[in-house]
């Protein structure tokens, strides 16, 4: 739940910054959004919150090495996904009742971003979701390699995570936040394509793509690479 809340706080901040920047430097708002959004993963790592897309990596790797079985791993990811959603909805509802939340208006960066996500075909959503969680899991792995060096953890996150945030790749938990934040502040009727079934389509396809990218590709690949009798580990 905390991971969803941290994402909500930082996403609202990133969106507000991008909205202010766009009139001054058109097209550059997404870069500000990506850099601020990236810091969320640092917060999640340092405060040891649970992010479902990261658990896709860890549970798959654990299953390959017999640390957990497949049903247990899927159960963990589903439970974390549910509470990530709960945290995202709760915090964005709170934010919608603040001064900055009530100032979000049609035509702002948030609306444009949400419309672009909801209008994507399912095939593109799936591919972009694979790429998004590959990037997120690379960042998770870099923070693990950094050990107790928190400066290194921060640098590893802010160097890689903007690669998906700025390029508008699809991350299921981030989409929970963006959907609820835009729904509470702008209203579904103000956002083109914001219907119940279109939102469910987006969430479902992106979640599955995230599992392929972070779980099967990153977790599965590194799990296989480390099935060795030597002391060397990737």
Average pLDDT over residues 190-217: 96
Instruction: Give the Cα separation of 102 and 115 in Å (integer).
Output: 19
Structure-token pair, residue 45: 């790592």
pLDDT, tens only, 13-72: 999 999 999 888 888 889 999 999 999 999 999 999 999 999 999 999 999 999 999 999
Query: Taking a C-beta distance cutoff of 8 angstroms, is the pair 213, 133 a contact?
Result: yes
pLDDT, residue 169, reads 94
Count Cβ atoms within 10 A of the Cβ of residue 143 and give its class: 0-12 exposed, 13-18 middle, 19 or more buried: buried
Q: Which residue has the tokens 């928190």?
A: 150
* pLDDT tens for each residue of 101-157: 888 989 899 999 999 999 999 999 999 999 999 999 999 999 988 888 999 999 989
| 115-131 tens-digit pLDDT | 999 999 999 999 999 99
Q: What percent of the chain has pLDDT over 90?
A: 79
Residue 222 has pLDDT above 80, yes or no: yes
Cβ pair 91, 9 in contact under 8 A: yes
pLDDT at residue 234 tops 80: no
Confidence of residue 165 (pLDDT cuts 50, 70, 90): confident
Residue 220 confidence class, pLDDT cut points 50, 70, 90: very high
Mean pLDDT for all residues in the chain: 93
| Dihedral, CA of residue 29, residue 46, residue 215 and residue 213, to nearest 10 | 20
Residue 223 three-state SS: helix
The confidence score (pLDDT) of residue 232 equals 77
What is the structure's pLDDT at 111?
A: 93
Tokens of 191: 């956002």
Question: Both tokens of residue 149?
Answer: 């060096």
User: What is the structure's pLDDT at 94?
Assistant: 97
Q: Which residue has the tokens 């009742």?
A: 97
CA distance 222 to 232: 12
Q: What's the rounded mean pLDDT across residues 225-234?
A: 82
202, 123 contact by CB (below 8 A): no
Query: 172 to each of 66, 80, 194, how far by Cα in Å?
Result: 27, 12, 16
Is the pLDDT assigned to residue 100 strictly greater than 90? no
Distance CA 136, CA 184 (A): 27
Q: Using the structure block, give the residue that is written with the tokens 């959503």.
A: 125
- Rounding to the nearest 10 degrees, give the CA dihedral for residues 177, 207, 216, 136: -20
Tokens of 172: 């299921």
CB of 33 closer than 8 Å to CB of 15: yes
Whether 208 and 131 have beta carbons less than 8 Å apart is answered as no
- pLDDT band for 164, please (50, 70, 90 cuts): confident
Cβ–Cβ contacts within 10 Å for residue 72, how many? 13
> Chain centroid to CA 113: how far?
14
- Under CATH, what is the fold of the domain 2-225? Glycerol uptake facilitator protein (1.20.1080)
């Amino acid at each position: 739940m905390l991971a969803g809340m941290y994402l909500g706080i930082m996403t609202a901040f990133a969106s507000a910054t991008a909205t202010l920047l766009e009139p001054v430097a058109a097209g550059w708002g997404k870069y500000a959004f990506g850099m601020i959004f990236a810091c969320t993963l640092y917060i999640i790592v340092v405060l040891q919150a649970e992010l479902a897309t990261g658990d896709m990596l860890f549970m798959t790797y654990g299953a390959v090495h017999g640390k957990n079985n497949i049903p247990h791993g899927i159960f963990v990811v589903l439970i974390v996904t549910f509470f990530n959603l709960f945290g995202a909805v709760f915090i964005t509802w709170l934010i919608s009742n603040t001064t900055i939340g009530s100032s979000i208006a049609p035509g702002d960066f948030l609306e444009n971003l949400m419309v672009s996500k909801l209008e994507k075909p399912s095939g593109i959503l799936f591919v972009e979701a694979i790429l998004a969680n590959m990037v997120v899991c690379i960042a998770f792995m870099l923070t693990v390699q950094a050990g107790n060096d928190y400066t290194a953890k921060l640098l590893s996150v802010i160097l890689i995570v903007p690669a998906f945030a700025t390029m508008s790749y699809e991350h299921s938990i981030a989409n929970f936040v963006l959907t609820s934040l835009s729904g509470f502040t702008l209203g579904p009727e103000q956002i083109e394509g914001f219907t119940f079934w279109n939102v469910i389509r987006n969430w479902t396809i992106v979640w599955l793509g995230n599992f392929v990218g972070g779980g099967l590709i990153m977790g599965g690949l590194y799990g296989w690479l480390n099935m060795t009798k030597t002391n060397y580990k990737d």
